Structure 1
């Protein structure tokens, strides 16, 4: 996401070399979804660059490749998994959790494959699983069995909250596109570990997005009081204002729990005159 075009020159300096964009993003937010790894395992040199651009306490939630989760459906993917784990080693402590996003066709009948896969994973990492089949949200027995699988290995259940998006018909092209692609699932809030992770998708209208996350701001304040360390990823269909919204969510949590430290001021998108390049 740190290369998202609408942010360049508005939130992030432009032009900016690709190997400096994450560094600039990290002045706005202290966590990022590693979604590109879903499509291909990155070169180790690329991951080394990510590590160089971020502090050791920066959080990467890195998605496992689709060859493991969607194509092989967690079985017979030992070689792909080894390659992926080797590639992300340079992140070190920045690898906050490895994100196992499962397809909507992954049903309660497949829980045995998930349980076996999670048990075989190295304990040197934390794991977070995103489920998209409705049975896990509507059938208490299926939800309970999934929770047992996850808690047995200390893994978290990642909710993807799209309820605000589907509250009323779309009003923009990006919202219409999201309606055709995003899962329509009930909101789920319980945390299984001390590191809950939430993905929230609002609307392109800022106030509707903010109104929709208020229950999460209450939940995050409670989690922090309980000694947990939660991570929130804020999205909108076009993501144009996502950086600003992420910081606004942080401020909403601070309004409920003032002892939470403020985020540092982000680097300006436009360099000062002394820093701007000249011909002479």
Structure 2
């Protein structure tokens, strides 16, 4: 019984000397991160398809059970809106091939303007994707959350191809006004979508945004403990990504979420023990 947890990236300046050794070459930081967490969001692939050699390095730095949830390129999802981007999609699929089973899901994040009338385009796109991968979709148009008919239409399109709906839970973040520069920036950029806790597949994926105060982040994720524990008891294999506006403590928080689930369900497999990190070196 495994619960995978992770962050929005595998390296962050504030992690150096705390979670990751410092100095540490860039090509070894993913290996160090994988001692803390068992999954990572591939947000950089949204902006540019990586070289195949780069992806091969990612595979070499992680074990076969590590999970990448990789975002499809912006040109496919936002610029072309899932239509007429076959060449860019093929290039992306070829680039990520070295990950093999580590490519846990290919993540189709859609713009806020992508609404219920666009679901047929999504359904056609999903049907045309190779069966070698699993797929997960994140939507932000309010109708998918507020209109039961739109919710049902989207769910039906996803279920037909065994694709997951990724919720991005920002409800705890928007509950009270921001108190830091990072929170104020996130306040203007992050989507305000209602809470969704329904899984469609055996491998649900959750993105959760807390606050820069770790205790407020922990307070906000309490409802997810019951949800994730329930999924595990049903035989599902969830992945939970913990975000905060500054992400300074994200690896520790991800492990803390895992610990809290495991306290309720001790049969969940423990996380790896990270290598101790000493104080930052001056030279």
TM range (shorter): over 0.9
1:146-185 equivalences in 2 (<5 Å): 146-185=154-193
Pick 1 or 2: higher relative contact order, CA cutoff 8 A, min separation 6.
2
1:216-255 equivalences in 2 (<5 Å): 216-255=224-263
Partner residue in 2 for 1:28: 36
- Report the TM-score when normalising by structure 1: 0.96
In the alignment, structure 2 segments of 5+ residues that lack a partner are: 1-8
- Give distance in 1, aligned partners of 2:135 and 2:269: 26
Partner residue in 1 for 2:52: 44
- Give distance in 2, aligned partners of 1:3 and 1:222: 31
Three-state SS of the structure 2 residue aligned to 1:220 is helix
1:54 lines up with 2:62 in the alignment: yes
1:22-78 per-residue CA deviation (whole Å, 9 max, x = no partner) reads 000000000000110000000000000000000011000000000000000000010
1:267 lines up with 2:279 in the alignment: no
Partner residue in 2 for 1:78: 86
1:209 lines up with 2:220 in the alignment: no
Three-state SS of the structure 1 residue aligned to 2:221 is helix
- Give distance in 2, aligned partners of 1:196 and 1:3: 24
Three-state SS of the structure 2 residue aligned to 1:255 is helix
**RMSD (CA atoms):** 1.5
- Residue 10 (structure 1) shift: 1.2
- Residue 270 (structure 1) shift: 2.4
- Residue 269 (structure 1) shift: 2.0
Three-state SS of the structure 2 residue aligned to 1:60 is strand
1:190-215 per-residue CA deviation (whole Å, 9 max, x = no partner) reads 00000000000001111111011111
- Residue 108 (structure 1) shift: 0.5
- Report the TM-score when normalising by structure 2: 0.95
- Give distance in 1, aligned partners of 2:90 and 2:187: 35
- Residue 3 (structure 1) shift: 2.1
Three-state SS of the structure 1 residue aligned to 2:202 is coil
- Give distance in 1, aligned partners of 2:278 and 2:59: 24
Which residue of 103, 107, 112 maps to 1:104?
Answer: 112
Which residue of 63, 73, 82 maps to 1:65?
Answer: 73
- Residue 83 (structure 1) shift: 0.2
- Give distance in 1, aligned partners of 2:48 and 2:253: 29
1:122 lines up with 2:93 in the alignment: no
- Give distance in 2, aligned partners of 1:237 and 1:95: 26
Equivalent residue pairs, number: 275
- Give distance in 2, aligned partners of 1:148 and 1:42: 32
- Residue 141 (structure 1) shift: 0.4
1:178-237 per-residue CA deviation (whole Å, 9 max, x = no partner) reads 000000011000000000000000011111110111111111111000000000000000
